[in-house]
């Protein structure tokens, strides 16, 4: 039994109503953080794909060649 399960049992024994997860402000804060994090990750991923497939990908300046 984890802490959440113990809390539910305690509330049930004392005839108290448990709060829904969606009634808590931290739920929405976490939801927004996950969405923003996914958007930042995807923006970086797409930026890397654009950079790798760009026309100047293998454009190097060679000063001298060793033989």
**What does the domain layout of the chain look like in residue ranges?**
22-58
**pLDDT tens sequence across 13-53:** 998 887 888 888 999 999 999 999 999 999 999 999 998 88
pLDDT at 8: 86
pLDDT at 20: 85
For the whole model, what pTM was predicted? Answer: 0.60
pLDDT at 22: 86
pLDDT at 47: 95
Can you read off the two tokens belonging to residue 63? Answer: 């000063």
């Amino acid at each position: 039994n984890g802490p959440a399960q113990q809390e539910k049992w305690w509330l049930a024994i004392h005839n108290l109503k448990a709060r829904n997860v969606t009634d808590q402000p931290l739920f929405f804060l976490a939801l927004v953080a996950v969405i923003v994090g996914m958007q930042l990750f995807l923006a970086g991923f797409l930026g890397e794909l654009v950079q790798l497939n760009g026309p100047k990908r293998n454009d190097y300046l060679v000063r001298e060649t060793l033989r």
